[in-house]
Structure 1
Amino acid sequence: LVENELAVLEWARGAGFDVPECSLEDVSALTPALRGHAGPPEGRVLVIRRYDREGSRRIHQEDFAQVAGLSPRLKYDQLTYEKLARLVQGIAGPAAYVEFVRRLAFVVASGNADAHLKNWSLVYPDGIEARLSPLYDQVCTIAWPEMAPELSLKLAGLKSLKQVDERSFRRLAESAGNDPGQTLAVLHECLERIARAWRESVAQDIMPPAHAALLREYWAGVPLLRRHFR
């Protein structure tokens, strides 16, 4: 799992997304306080630099389960991605909506079936203005065939990752009161950037080969992605 997540995070970084500094470390190299929470001593863990601290100052963060006033247990299915897009735009503005579209494109391209409400967050660097937090908890879940290849939230009334297409993003744009043509332009520009980043970043070297093979098989089966991931 940790190699998969690191690969996806570095892939996202290569595609231009805001990703905190991260690395794989041996459990044995951690401080004693951390070692007790990190599993077998011979294992490895993913270490991520906290982005909600600036020196001794705490930067406020709230995930979208909190924003929506929902229990963490209700992080799946209680909202749709259309509703999430409207929340992002209403709180953080039009530029945040565009970034949301890009991040949702990455969720689909990376085969991530775990982009639930607690894996989308806002941060308030100045204590007033909200913006989307850096990316975190990004995993290519289709690498585990026992996990259904389904979105965590519905998009255009559907959950299957393989059924996401231009119509899905058109519905997203219309729901948020935005120009569908502009949203589709953002989608395809971003997918092209994501595909190029996969070819050029270190992600391929980090991703377990069996996981990468399943990812390529997934791309071939999704018309929206096939045109970009050739």
Structure 2
Amino acid sequence: MNTVLDVHLGPIAVGTIELSSSGERIFRFSGAYLDLPTFESVAALLHAVDPGCSREFIRRLVFMILSGTEDAHLKNWALLYDDEGVRARLSPAYDLLCTIAYQGNSSPRLALRIAGQHDARQLTGQSFAAIAEKLGERFDTVLAWIVEDVERMRACYASDSAHWPLPLVAREALDRHLDSLPLASGRAR
């Protein structure tokens, strides 16, 4: 195997990316720095390890913002390794729930920053510009994904949420949260 890139991804990871004989990227993790991680640094790590995960990363991030998942720390971005323990990919989503409904928090605070913001109410589509760059994607592509995801999630909430086992207090908190988000109100662009 040949080392093709030494990687220092800000506060998240240090390692190398190697190419196997079949051309697959293999990330070899050599250390971690967990001071002030951001969603931009998570995007950079995921792009380095699993470049095909960009679309899923944006989908999950939009869901976390819209659903009021305030505790989406680094643990929500786990990597799943192959049987040999060398090739990694983004793991399936887990532990995503509407924490704002149960914490009584009137000012939703994301666990990690996006564009320097912890407050989801300050985020617009433009807030994702650096994330798009870290993912190696065009900003207009990422923006289109955000718009699509918001539309799908809002449609699902409107048509199906009456059947969800959600206490009234949680439903009211989520409604207030959605009404406060520029991303959720069609102001993503």
TM-score of the two chains, using structure 2 as the length reference: 0.73
> Is residue 169 from structure 1 mapped to residue 128 from structure 2 by the alignment?
yes
> Is residue 179 from structure 1 mapped to residue 138 from structure 2 by the alignment?
yes
Counterpart of 2:36 in structure 1 is: 78
Q: Give the deviation of 1:176 after TM superposition.
A: 3.6
Counterpart of 1:98 in structure 2 is: 55
List alignment gaps of at least 5 residues for structure 2: 1-28
RMSD: 2.4
Identity of aligned residues (%): 36
Q: Structure 1's 171 and 207: CA in aligned 2 closer, same or farther, altered over 3 A?
A: same
Q: Distance in 2 between matches of 1:193 and 1:123?
A: 27
Give runs of aligned pairs for residues 127-146 of structure 1, distance below 5 A. Answer: 127=84, 128-143=86-101, 144-146=103-105
Task: Please list the CA deviations of residues 58-98 of structure 1 after superposition, one character each: whole Å capped at 9, or x if unmatched.
Answer: xxxxxxxx99625xxx5xx62110010010011011x2022
Q: Distance in 1 between matches of 2:139 and 2:186?
A: 20
List alignment gaps of at least 5 residues for structure 1: 1-65
Work out whether residues 119 and 137 of structure 1, in 8 Å CA contact, stay in contact via their aligned partners in 2: yes
Counterpart of 2:180 in structure 1 is: 221
Q: Distance in 2 between matches of 1:221 and 1:148?
A: 10
Q: Structure 1's 151 and 125: CA in aligned 2 closer, same or farther, altered over 3 A?
A: same
Q: Give the deviation of 1:205 after TM superposition.
A: 2.3
Which of 112, 121, 124 is matched with 2:69 structurally? 112
AA at the equivalent of 1:140: C
Higher RCO structure (Cα 8 Å, ≥6 apart): 1
Q: How many residues align?
A: 157
TM-score of the two chains, using structure 1 as the length reference: 0.61
Work out whether residues 123 and 133 of structure 1, in 8 Å CA contact, stay in contact via their aligned partners in 2: yes
Q: Structure 1's 187 and 150: CA in aligned 2 closer, same or farther, altered over 3 A?
A: same
